[in-house]
Structure 1
Amino acid sequence: MKLPDIAEVARSSGMAASKLRFYEEKGLIAPVGRRGLKRLFDPGVLERLSLIALAQTAGFSLDEIGGMFGEDGRPRLDRAQLSAKADELDRTIKRLGALRDGLRHAAACPAPSHMECPTFQRLLKGAIAPGRTGTPARRRR
């Protein structure tokens, strides 16, 4: 069985080789050998990369994702952690839905000015105080 090198894994996964090297630095994937200067990977690396991508899409950090694998490299998913993330996504969806509805209202609002629209005013207040209207606050970097 021929082991895929990093270029083949990059092509098959749609991920840049630099991203694969970064994941290797973070301990999320590991080559099983080398062919000359090229890293060689177990064919199961694509499934692992799929799990990493899914977890990132769900909002897990790379450190959290690293904890999703056992010492043997096999997935070890914490059901309570998955459930908590699903609950967090539900809250995000609710906040984004409220924001979407408010923006749709503002786009079609008959008020002479958006600043005269009570719904738009609630959106504005929610932009700096998300707890009052359920709209998301901007993340600070």
Structure 2
Amino acid sequence: MLDIAEVAGRSGLAASALRYYEQQGLISSTGRNGLRRTYAPEVLPRLTLINCARRAGFTIAEIQRFLAATPDDTELRAQLADKAREVEADIARLTRMRDGLHHATVCTHARLVDCPEFKRTLATPDAHATDACCTP
């Protein structure tokens, strides 16, 4: 068994986040060692999944549904497909930003925003896209 401090250290999450996730039903402790909560080692991969989902924009409620999903939950599967498309759009946007930042480190234009390569790197595939925040 791992106590809450060990889980916090290994997961990179604050103990308060672990208690919150437990309160929300995302994880569960196996008991207590004195005043400290204890967790089974299997909580660490679950926390990795939760953390990844949070960073991808999933809400706590969405993660709760995902963790409780069964193969016949067709509504959830449709929502996951929608979320996958959102994540792919985010990846494309962030990739453009990364490429633009890499170019910015070597660009010799007096004003970076005037550089055709920089503009091309950040341009959205569809100039009318709603995530055109990266289009100079």
TM band (smaller chain): 0.5 to 0.7
Mark the CA change 1:39 to 1:135 in structure 2 (over 3 Å): closer, same or farther. Answer: same
Q: Indicate the SS of the match to 1:67.
A: helix
Contact 1:4–1:41 at 8 Å: present in 2 too? yes
Whether contact under 8 Å (1:6, 1:39) holds in the other structure is yes
Following superposition, the deviation at residue 36 of structure 1 comes to 1.0
Pair 1:135 & 2:132 matched: yes
Which consecutive aligned stretches of 4+ in structure 1 deviate over 2 angstroms post-superposition? 75-83, 89-102, 131-134
**In the aligned structure 1, how far is the partner of 2:18 from the partner of 2:31?**
15
Identity of aligned residues (%): 48
Bigger Cα Rg? 1
CA contact (8 A) 1:96 1:135 kept: no
* Rounded Cα–Cα distance in structure 1 between residues aligned with 2:31 and 2:14: 20
Report the counterpart of residue 23 of structure 2 in structure 1.
Answer: 25
Q: What RMSD over aligned residues (CA atoms) do the two structures have, in Å?
A: 3.6
In structure 2, the CA distance between the partners of 1:79 and 1:7, relative to structure 1 (3 Å rule), is same
The separation in 1 between residues aligned to 2:5 and 2:99, in whole angstroms, is 45
User: Partner of 2:8 in structure 1?
Assistant: 10
TM-score under structure 1 length normalisation: 0.60
For residue 116 of structure 1, what is the aligned residue in structure 2? Answer: none
User: 1:44 deviation in Å?
Assistant: 0.7
TM-score normalised per structure 2: 0.62
Residue identity matched to 1:16 = A
SS at 1:30's partner residue? coil
